[in-house]
A and B are shown apart, each in its own frame.
Chain A
């Protein structure tokens, strides 16, 4: 709860150099290899000084990723989705709650109907005693 999960971090655990490419991969959810290949291709294809400058600026500005930022891989994936499209993630969470609500109401209906049957049986047993 302490560190923001929508910030860009340097991923030092999977770093090759400073962790910018792996951080970018972690941020977007794209595979690290593709990010690195893309960065190298961009550098060769005429972005020569600028990509390096951007790399060092990013390495200088961004903080390293705090340990234990995500509890699980699922959690990391969820936050990647949030960074890409927060409203879609919010709708997904809402639909999960609706699913829970629907399933709970199924249980409720099942129990109330079976309990009313039970209540009728108890009443039927009680009636002759009166």
Chain B
């Protein structure tokens, strides 16, 4: 009996289980990365704007900190501590 059951189970796993798992992950991946062209351009623009705003804000904070010693810019965790003007962020 086992001589028949084991090959059937193996064949079933190979030809049904494996494609199932692969297709499941492909569909999941497809739905996860359904980013349209407009979304992509928008995200690009937003990312670019955020980067430029951060740079400008950093400059402004440094200028204010230089003018008013009692002003301490609230630095986030992502920024390393006080660097001179040549900073590549």
Q: Is A107 an interface residue (CB 8 A)?
A: yes
Interface residues on A, range: 20 to 34
A110 to B39, CA, bound (A): 37
Cβ-defined partner of B37 (8 Å) among A4, A90, A99, A104: A4
Docked-complex contact A103 and B57, CB < 8 angstroms:
yes
- Pick out which of these stretches binds chain B: A36-44, A54-62, A80-88: A80-88
* 8 Å CB interface, A72-93 against B: 78, 82-83, 85-86, 89-90, 93
Q: Is B76 an interface residue (CB 8 A)?
A: yes
Find the residue from B37, B43, B46, B78 having the highest chain A CB count within 10 A: B43
Docked-complex contact A96 and B54, CB < 8 angstroms:
yes
Interchain nearest-CB distance for A13 vs B (Å): 22
Cβ-defined partner of A5 (8 Å) among B44, B60, B73: B44
Interface residues on B, range: 20 to 34
Docked-complex contact A1 and B43, CB < 8 angstroms:
no
Q: Is A112 an interface residue (CB 8 A)?
A: no
Closest to B36 in A: A6
Cβ-defined partner of B33 (8 Å) among A83, A93, A102, A114: A83
Cβ-defined partner of A107 (8 Å) among B33, B61, B78: B61
Cβ-defined partner of B57 (8 Å) among A78, A100, A114: A100
Q: Is A97 an interface residue (CB 8 A)?
A: yes
Interchain nearest-CB distance for A68 vs B (Å): 14
Chain B residues whose CB sits within 8 angstroms of the CB of A85 once the complex forms: 32
Cβ-defined partner of A93 (8 Å) among B35, B47, B64, B73: B47
Contact surface of A with B, Cβ cutoff 8 Å: 1, 4-6, 78, 82-83, 85-86, 89-90, 93, 96-97, 99-100, 102-104, 106-107, 110, 114
Those 5 A-B pairs whose CB atoms lie nearest each other, nearest first: A96-B50, A86-B35, A100-B53, A93-B46, A106-B74
